[in-house]
Amino acid sequence: MTRETSIARMLLVLVLAPAGGLFGKAVAEAAQSREWWPWLVAALVWLVLSGLISMTVSNPMSKSTDDEHR
């Protein structure tokens, strides 16, 4: 496994595990007839923010790798 693959797997766990926990909390709250939507919103915000951060981080990296291949 390459270093990039290891980093990608680690980041995948760091992004999806908290989102899964927040979705699970929303389901648990709904099962108890409590307000579940704040947990769902928090999970969606987490996924959007982590996606934006990953795009921001990956774009400068892809530009630097393009320069290496020229």
2-59 confidence digits (pLDDT tens): 877 777 788 888 888 899 999 999 999 999 999 999 999 999 999 999 888 877 877 7
CA distance 38 to 43: 9
Of residues 70 and 39, the one with the higher pLDDT is: 39
- pLDDT (0 to 100) of residue 3: 79
Rg over alpha carbons for the chain, rounded to the nearest Å, is: 17
Any idea where the domains of the chain sit in the sequence? 3-63
Angstrom CA distances, 10 to 14, 16, 17, 22, stand at: 6, 10, 11, 19
Q: What's this model's pTM, rounded to 2 decimal places?
A: 0.70
Take residue 8 and report the two structure tokens written for it: 């990608």
CA distance 39 to 22: 6
